[in-house]
Structure 1
Amino acid sequence: MADNAESRSEPRFDTVEADCLDIYQDGESFRVLASREECEITNISKHGLMVRCKTTLATFERFRLRMHLDSGNDLTLYGTVRWSVPDGSGNYLLGLLLEDTLGTDYLLWQNRLSKLLLNQARAGLDTSRLTASV
């Protein structure tokens, strides 16, 4: 999938260091679709993530995501797979849309992202790269 910045509804920020995550099937089974050993966050935006995984997920599949933070806390978020493409190395790039769902940590996610961007702006860094842990 081409990364066309002009067609984006909001900016994407590359991550240098990222928290690990597990992706579960939405529903009662909570079957693991992709574990923290299989996935890494490659970039983030206000409403989503791009992740690189060893397994693919179906487009429009609903998921529950557990993001494990360096602080020891976890965030629980829900969303939908928007797209999935092979990355040429045997892995897949996935576009994940995060949803503002009652009973999730969506507001904490938004707050965390805002703090990272504010800290970066204060440091005078280029806002196209995040160097802090996401």
Structure 2
Amino acid sequence: MAESAGHKTSDNRSEPRYTARDADCLDIYQDGSGFKILASREACEITNISKHGLMIRCDTPLEAFERFRLRFHLESGDDLTLFGNVRWRVPDGSGHYLFGLQLEDRLGTDYLLWQNRLSKLLLNRARTGLQIN
């Protein structure tokens, strides 16, 4: 089980996780003035999402507590820009890593659009009876 700052990630969940099934993808950039890419959409798979973060599987070893700028490419063709940090990482046994990414509510980002998207996802899943993790 992954641990972060002394907390077990699966036991301390304060909000539900939703399985990512859409064709959404993301690019992760180093936070700061440059646009150095840390992990591309070809190297990352979204495992699940929550109100304040997401879990990804990636072959790029991002550092725990590393700050990032995330470009979320939605199936609709829209993009969201979000900021946050890597809360934890663990190897998944297949040469990839699992990462817990925490998103921040920052001025100049699409954080409110992210929240709105999750609200719509929750409503759609409640209507169709899909399982929430």
TM over 0.5: yes
Question: What's the CA shift for 1:127?
Answer: 2.4
Q: Which residue of 2 aligns with 1:93?
A: 98
Which residue of the partner structure matches residue 68 of structure 2? 63
Paired with 1:59 and 1:5, the residues of 2 have a C-alpha distance of 17
Structure 1: gaps of 5 or more residues: 129-134
For 1:79, the aligned partner's letter is G
Paired positions, count: 128
2:119 maps to what in 1?
114
* Whole-angstrom CA distance in 1 between matches of 2:72 and 2:93: 26
8 Å contact from structure 1 (residues 80, 96) kept in 2: yes
CA offset digits 1:23-80 (Å, max 9, x no partner): 0000012200000000010011110000000111111110000011111110000001
Residue 26 of structure 2 aligns with an amino acid whose one-letter code is L
- Secondary structure of the corresponding residue to residue 15 of structure 2: coil
- Aligned AA (1:66): R
Paired residue type of 2:47: T
The percent of aligned pairs where both chains have the same amino acid is 73
Q: Hey, what does 1:39 align to over in structure 2?
A: 44
* Greater RCO structure (CA 8 Å; 6+ sep): 1
Deviations 1:70-125 (A, max 9, x none): 11110000001001111100001010000000000000000001101101101223
Contact 1:84–1:94 (8 Å) recurs in 2: yes
Question: RMSD between aligned alpha carbons?
Answer: 1.5
Q: Which aligned pairs between 1:7-22 and structure 2 lie closer than 5 A?
A: 7-22=12-27
Q: Which amino acid aligns with 1:111?
A: N
1:104 corresponds to: 109
Counterpart of 1:70 in 2: which secondary structure?
coil
Checking the alignment, whether the CA contact within 8 Å between 1:48 and 1:98 is kept in structure 2 is yes
Kindly indicate whether the alpha-carbon contact (under 8 Å) linking 1:24 and 1:65 is maintained by their aligned counterparts in 2. Answer: yes
SS of 1:49 mapped into structure 2: strand
Partner Cα separation in structure 2 for residue 110 and residue 99 of structure 1: 11
